[in-house]
Homo-oligomer: A and B are copies of this chain.
């Protein structure tokens, strides 16, 4: 097995090298032999999706996902329309980048709101976005988030609940994103990953580790292998579920961001070989479409 085969499923999510611009991120991936990248919208703001897409393509990089849409928290009509419009623009950008997936972070509970109402809102919003996503050939991936974020970022806390929320919507257009950091504590994790795979909804997999004391859980995620999560089991579950896409290394860690992006990328590649590759089949992740030069 060549090194590149071991890394065929490896993707570096830009959040892991949060302070690097896209040019540096591309260089880091190429030098480390990482074939895919998870792109953040805020990194597109300067240059636009089209220019970013050209740079990524010139470097031979695949895009595994665009992060992120979602945040469906408005309860008035104009806020609601604004949120849906913003998500439609994100879908267009995902299409332009050739990303198969747009990650949806559900959003929290607005002041005066309730958990139940927020859950209903997430379903309504995703349903409203299906036609646009379908025409762009993008899969919307609802991300269950660690319950520590339920009030302020993501009211959907488990794989089981995410699957329930998207139930009945077409699986090729609406799936879920599973990040080890968010779901590792769930005693039902493995069975729910299996269920997600069986129903064709496992659209994206991400990894980060959990190590107490966490400080601010948003930016204190640990490098896989250094925390309490069992990644051999996680990778085995993902593989057994029939997932053939990229595993994105997405590590929000304020200390890691101070490190040299090229060194971080090399560390990701090495850890991927040791920790995940043994449990994964190799081969290029499926690309859902080749991007046109124009957004739909």
C-alpha spacing A217/B213, complex, angstroms: 11
B147 engages A185 (CB within 8 Å)? yes
Contact of A152 among B119, B161, B213 (CB under 8 A): B213
B187 engages A151 (CB within 8 Å)? no
**Number of residues from A at the complex interface, CB < 8 A:** 32
Q: A114-B230, A161-B187, A186-B157 are in contact. Are A212 and B119 (CB under 8 A)?
A: no
B212 engages A151 (CB within 8 Å)? yes
B148 engages A227 (CB within 8 Å)? no
Residues of B within 8 A of A185 (CB): 115, 147, 150-151, 155, 157
Question: A205 contacts the other chain (Cβ, under 8 Å)?
Answer: no
C-alpha spacing A114/B185, complex, angstroms: 11
B187 engages A119 (CB within 8 Å)? yes
Binding site for B on A (CB under 8 A): 108-109, 113-115, 119, 146-148, 150-152, 155, 157-158, 161, 164, 184-187, 210-217, 227-228, 230
Across chains A and B, which 9 residue pairs bring their CB atoms closest together, nearest first? A152-B212, A150-B185, A147-B185, A148-B148, A151-B228, A151-B212, A109-B228, A147-B147, A161-B187
